[in-house]
């Protein structure tokens, strides 16, 4: 069982739901950080972080953040909320935003189960 640390950075240029990370086959992922940056020059952004549970084939809203200023950043895994997310094979993180220029950064430790 090898561990590998990964940063997944994705530019979200749509207001439709977008998959930003999928846990690889035969892997467990421990997500330590999920942050979003509003790269829009002037608009505020609302965010929705959704978890896809592949074993239940269901999307579940995990968290929302509202009114992030232009050039503002939000961290979803800090403070009083959960500080680690555990994803199993084929589970995914998805984002929806109200702006068309956002950067999503995910820090994860992937544990190979083979």
Distant-in-sequence contacts of 83-88, Cβ < 8 A, 24+ apart: 83/32, 84/30, 84/31, 84/32, 85/30, 85/31, 85/34, 85/51, 86/28, 86/29, 86/30, 86/31, 87/21, 87/23, 87/28, 87/29, 87/31, 87/51, 88/23, 88/28, 88/29, 88/54, 88/55
Q: CATH for 3-112?
A: 2.60.120.340
pLDDT tens, residue by residue, 76-89: 998 776 789 999 99
pLDDT tens, residue by residue, 22-48: 999 999 999 999 999 999 989 999 999
pTM for the structure as a whole: 0.92
């Amino acid at each position: 069982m090898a561990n590998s640390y990964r940063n997944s950075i994705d530019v979200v240029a749509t207001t439709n739901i977008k998959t930003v990370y999928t846990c690889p086959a035969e892997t467990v992922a421990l997500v330590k950080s999920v942050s979003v940056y509003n790269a829009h020059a002037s608009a505020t952004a609302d965010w929705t972080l959704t978890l896809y549970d592949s074993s239940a084939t269901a999307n579940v809203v995990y968290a929302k953040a509202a009114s992030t200023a232009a050039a503002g950043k939000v961290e979803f895994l800090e403070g009083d909320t959960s500080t680690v997310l555990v994803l199993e094979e084929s589970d995914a993180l998805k984002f929806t935003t109200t702006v068309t220029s956002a950067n999503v950064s995910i820090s994860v430790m992937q544990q190979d189960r083979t």
